[in-house]
A and B are shown apart, each in its own frame.
Chain A
């Protein structure tokens, strides 16, 4: 059973515009959420995280929003750059032992 879901397998955005990647989760026990970026044949690299006590966290061009009542989080990338093209995974954890990942969204930023 997929506890973390990314319902959009792919997204294309024009360079300079905003990219919004969405993620939904089902387990209300999750208290820590993360976004990872992955290039082909490489391990994922950590991008940004948010604790369940917050609803927004910002780091440069990347902002993560958390809506606990809707069990939804999103990653905003502004402005989008061609180098942002990759697969993005959202992940959630509780108890600091497991990370549950979504299936990923492939972002393509068009120059």
Chain B
């Protein structure tokens, strides 16, 4: 069966520090991969999606970037965090024409 792992679960980082959140999927090949952010009153905002290795599409301009170095690995990064980057970050995967399955999320607090 397919599983998705996302870590860390919580993270407190100072302003200006770098960020790296990792997500891996098991049990499926060539999935679509997504990074979402849930901010208060904003629902789930799609940040990045990837349909294959090295293929990243950005939905909103921001202080973040994403990379897909392997088929089932998706990384969310920032060189310098801002206070406004605080939020709940979710990784998800899907195959064509199926629902997306989410990881447990990372609560990021930038202080």
Tell yes or no: A98 within 8 A of B by CB: yes
Within 8 A of B (CB), among A96-111: 96-104
Q: Please tell me if the beta carbons of A101 and B43 are within 8 angstroms of each other in the complex.
A: yes
17 pairs, A vs B, C-beta closer than 8 Å: A32-B97, A41-B88, A43-B6, A43-B92, A44-B44, A44-B90, A44-B102, A46-B101, A89-B43, A97-B49, A97-B57, A99-B34, A99-B46, A99-B92, A100-B46, A101-B36, A101-B44
Say what secondary structure dominates the interface of chain A: loop
Q: Could you tell me if B59 and A46 are in contact, using CB atoms closer than 8 angstroms?
A: no
Interface status of B51 (Cβ within 8 A of chain A): yes
Chain B residues with CB under 8 A of A43: 6, 90, 92, 102-105
Residues on A with C-beta less than 8 A from B88 are 41
Chain A residues in the interface with B (C-beta under 8 A): 6, 32, 34, 36, 41-46, 49, 89, 91, 96-104
Task: From the candidates A6, A44, A45, A98, name the one contacting B49 in the complex (CB within 8 A).
Answer: A98
Main SS of chain B's interface residues? strand
Q: Give A103 to B42 CA distance when docked, in angstroms.
A: 5
* Chain B residues whose C-beta falls within 8 Å of the C-beta of A45 in the assembled complex: 102
Residues of chain B within 8 A (CB-CB) of A32 are: 97
Query: Does A96 contact B96, Cβ atoms closer than 8 Å?
Result: yes
Q: Give CA–CA (A99, B6) in the complex, Å.
A: 19
